[in-house]
Structure 1
Amino acid sequence: MPSSPRWIRTMVVVDVVLVAVLIVLAVVQLSSGRAPDAGASAGATSTASSTPTAPAVAQDAFRLPSGNIACTMSGEGVTCTIADYTYAAPTVAGCTGTTGHVLTLGPDGVAFVCEDGPAPTAAGDDVRTLEYGSESRVDGWTCSSGTDGVTCTAADGTGFRLARATWTELP
């Protein structure tokens, strides 16, 4: 139902992802003084994990190559959605909806979001792909893409690992 809180929340997440992609494209264009090449990735902030440092940006949005996991990062923290999972859905106190599809990391730690409405779908090709073995950094938050899922951490090492079969709170 288009007016349900979950539908609205899903649309807000989609809007944030699209705005983040547009911001990254604008920053790339302004910093290079020319339009990005057709083959250039919109995600200039992702780097191979062998690179010692990555430039920080105000926001980033990406999906893993499978499309099953998508994340948005900002100075406030990280939000990842997973379309399909096989782990036992965690409980969220007071939640009458569903849980398990949306996981956040912020100043207060790791938390699953209580969801109303339909589950998120796999991220489309319009969302930048963070290739396996690459990472993205935004204001002290780091997410790494791997064949075993996504790992997102704060500067102090707290965070989570999220994959189709399992999720783990770190450290």
Structure 2
Amino acid sequence: MAGRGFAGLTPGMKAFLAVDAVLVVLLVLLFVVVQRGGDDGDAGAAATPTPSGTAAPAPEATPAEAVAFALPSGNIACDMSAGGVECRIASFTYAAPEVAGCEGATGNVVRLDAQGFAFVCVEGDPPATAGADVPVLEYGSQETAGEYTCRSGTDGVTCSGAGGVGFRLARADWTELP
């Protein structure tokens, strides 16, 4: 078969080689996308707590990544993604806001997404303090996912999205931003 090129191959073998070549190209492209994290931008880095308690730079979350953290007290825990932020507070002293049509508990869960800020109706048990498996976001540090950023402080967590819309949540009170 040496020297004959593709001329001596059957149509079925030619089709097999063509499909094989396409699959190899797709595999190489997938590898490149995974290695780059699927993100062409370099919007900066978020801080990730290290075991020593100091913040170390970490890559910004991509749309497929979720970021979870708890404040050092464990009373407030949040989940972030490019689609929004949801924070849970186990214990609070403010008056629970009303949520239209809610027959469950209110005041423990807040959400920020493309529709804005809102308290969420909790059917069932309210959230407990964050477990030891949830990464701690040290006071003064922040996390970012998509256009959402949350900052940990001794006065609670402050999360905002596009245009500064967001919230501050603490044991004693909450504030809608801006």
Consecutive aligned runs of 4 or more in structure 1 exceeding 4 Å deviation: none
Larger radius of gyration: 2
Point out where structure 2 has 5 or more consecutive residues left out of the alignment: 1-33, 36-44, 50-54
What is the alpha-carbon root mean square deviation over aligned residues? 2.2
Contact kept in structure 2, 1:54 and 1:136, CA below 8 Å = no
CA distance, structure 1, for counterparts of residue 153 and residue 48 of structure 2: 13
CA distance, structure 1, for counterparts of residue 92 and residue 111 of structure 2: 16
CA distance, structure 1, for counterparts of residue 176 and residue 59 of structure 2: 26
Structure 1 counterpart of 2:60: 56
The percent of aligned pairs where both chains have the same amino acid is 59
Counterpart among 135, 138, 148 of residue 128 in structure 1? 135
| Number of equivalences | 127
Listed one character per residue, the Cα deviations across residues 118-145 of structure 1 (whole Å, up to 9, x for unaligned) are 1111001110000000000010100000
**Alpha-carbon deviation of 1:78?**
0.1
Q: Which has the higher contact order (CA 8 A, sep 6+)?
A: 1
Point out where structure 1 has 5 or more consecutive residues left out of the alignment: 1-29, 32-43
CA distance, structure 2, for counterparts of residue 151 and residue 47 of structure 1: 17
Q: TM-score, normalised by structure 2?
A: 0.67
Structure 1 counterpart of 2:89: 82
Counterpart residue type for residue 93 of structure 1: A
Counterpart among 100, 110, 114 of residue 107 in structure 2? 100
Q: TM-score, normalised by structure 1?
A: 0.69
**Alpha-carbon deviation of 1:74?**
0.4
Query: Matches of residues 160-171 of structure 1 in structure 2 within 5 Å?
Result: 160-171=167-178
